[in-house]
Amino acid sequence: VRDGYIRRKDEFKFKCYVDGKDCDDVCKSEGGSAGYCTALGFLCYCAGLPDDKAWKPTSS
């Protein structure tokens, strides 16, 4: 379990909207405890994400 950017099948990082609701829902549906949308880059950042769902620098 880790905190980090969520990795999705169709994108290597999940883009989100400023309010973060979509990000929180996606993180929880993928096993995370919470999620928010970063202001820089509008990318979804998750807390408590399973290792296989988290983006790693070697992921694409």
Q: pLDDT for 4-51, tens place per residue? A: 988 877 656 778 877 778 889 989 999 999 999 988 778 889 999 998
Q: Is 11 among the domain residues?
A: yes
Q: Is 17 among the domain residues?
A: yes
Distance CA 17, CA 37 (A): 7
Q: Is 58 among the domain residues?
A: no
User: Residue 38 is part of which domain span?
Assistant: 2-49
Give the total residue count for the chain.
Answer: 60
What pTM was estimated for this model as a whole?
0.78
Distance CA 47, CA 2 (A): 7
Please give the tally of structural domains in the chain.
1
Q: Is 28 among the domain residues?
A: yes
Q: Is 19 among the domain residues?
A: yes
